[in-house]
Amino acid sequence: MRRAGVSHCRMAVPANAFLYLTEQGDVGVQGEPLVTGFEVAPQFDRTALITALRADQAGGTTFPEFVRGCWNAGIIWYDVDTTARTCTYHGANGESYTEDYPPVTLP
């Protein structure tokens, strides 16, 4: 994403909507919403989030399953900073968890 000019990616988890912030202009992408109507937001659960992250990183889930795992772990939105190589996951009450990602060399 960084090489394509994306500086940040913001995901609204219950809406399953992305906003890519790029040098050429910002782009929104709407997926199938996880929530329609009213639904109580799950409580932030760091352990459940890390479990969902590790399963996804190991290739054990599809992206929709990962997003559902984030929601079930109480994640309301997350921000990917491609320059800092971080992704910060946010709960409804100000909780957060940040993962650092090492550089990857592509062939």
Reported as a single tens digit per residue, the pLDDT across 13-65 is 999 999 988 888 899 999 999 999 999 999 999 999 999 999 999 999 999 99
In a domain, 88, yes or no: yes
Tokens of 37: 């109507």
- The stretch 60-89 carries a mean pLDDT of 95
- Number of structural domains, the chain? 1
In a domain, 40, yes or no: yes
- Structure confidence at residue 94 (pLDDT): 96
In a domain, 107, yes or no: no
The domain that holds 49 is classified in CATH as 3.30.1810.10
- Structure confidence at residue 25 (pLDDT): 87
Pairing of strands 6-12, 27-30: unpaired
**Domain span holding position 17:** 2-100
In a domain, 106, yes or no: no
In a domain, 24, yes or no: yes
In this prediction the pTM is 0.89
Integer Cα distance of 54 and 4 in angstroms: 26
Host H or E run for residue 80: strand 77-81
In a domain, 55, yes or no: yes
- DSSP label of 44: P
What is the biggest distance separating any 2 CA atoms in the chain, rounded to whole angstroms? 46
